[in-house]
Amino acid sequence: MNIKGLVSDIQDCYLLSIRGILGIFRRPFYFKDTIEQMDYAGAGSFLIIFLVSLFIGMALSLQLSAELSRLGLKMYTGKVVGISIIREVGPVTAALVFSGRVGAGMASELGSMILGHQIDSLRVFGVDPIKKLVTPRILSAVIMLPALTLMGDAVSLFGAYYIAVFVSHQSGYFYWSSIKDILNFENVLAGSIKPFIFGYLIACISCYMGFSTKGGAVGLRKSTTRAVVMSIIMIIISDFILTRILLYVLGFSV
């Protein structure tokens, strides 16, 4: 990949993301399409994020109780697990699953519309494809990913609770009270800003990759793959940057 192509890709993707957001404020607003996308992105991803979160929570809890009980600090399991899940593991896991399921879906759907000249048809009929297709997808991702993350966090915490209490034989009451302790403003803020940004990134990258599809079935494969790969990379990188910023803003010393 040459540098010039990369820069123009980033520029175009950025423009698409801005125009996608501005689409909310200009008529007509495609309410029905937005609801449809929210249903696909949200309700459709519920089960898979439920499962993934449950097992991540259990695995994390298992690892930490094993390690902490060797140090005699078993009672801290709830606290450490809770902080990792709320601030880091929950948002990132949900976003990764979301990009694999919803991002890939967006890219392949828009890509096949490009290949079938359907986007051209929309433009000929005077419909702005960005407002009709991109804006609803951005909105649905920005609304549904945080909701899914919240649900995933809760499920993870229950999974971790199950391991801590029934496998590691800790006190359930103490587990929940340490979770309650860490549910303070800083942690909740740190964990809940991320999914909005991740959702926005996933939707913009996937729509852009879908729109830049060319070259038949192979081209569609390429653009779908690129959508998922780029989303994953951007999620991980932006997670690091966001964490750094949030820790700084919230006054933690590292």
186 binds other proteins (CB under 8 A): no
Question: Which residue type sits at 155?
Answer: V
Residue with Cβ nearer other proteins (36 or 181)? 36
List the one residue out of 177, 179, 171 whose CA is nearest residue 86: 179
Helix boundaries (H) for the chain: 3-22, 31-41, 46-70, 77-84, 90-98, 104-115, 118-124, 129, 135-162, 172-182, 185-211, 216-249
Binding to other proteins (CB under 8 A): which residues in 198-227? none
Residue with Cβ nearer other proteins (117 or 244)? 117
List the one residue out of 220, 198, 197 whose CA is nearest residue 209: 220
List the one residue out of 142, 159, 131, 109 whose CA is nearest residue 31: 131
125 binds other proteins (CB under 8 A): yes
Peptide bond into 146 cis (omega under 30): no
Q: Which of 15, 18, 66, 116 touches other proteins by CB under 8 A?
A: 116
180 binds other proteins (CB under 8 A): no
Binding mask 4-43 for other proteins (x = CB under 8 A): ------------------------x---------------
Q: Which of 24, 123, 166, 177 touches other proteins by CB under 8 A?
A: 123
Q: Rounded to whole angstroms, how far apart are CA atoms 144 and 156?
A: 18
Least Å from the CB of residue 195 to other proteins: 28
Binding mask 94-113 for other proteins (x = CB under 8 A): ------------------xx
Task: Kindly list the residues in this chain that would bind other proteins in the complex (CB under 8 A).
Answer: 28, 112-113, 116-118, 120-121, 123-128
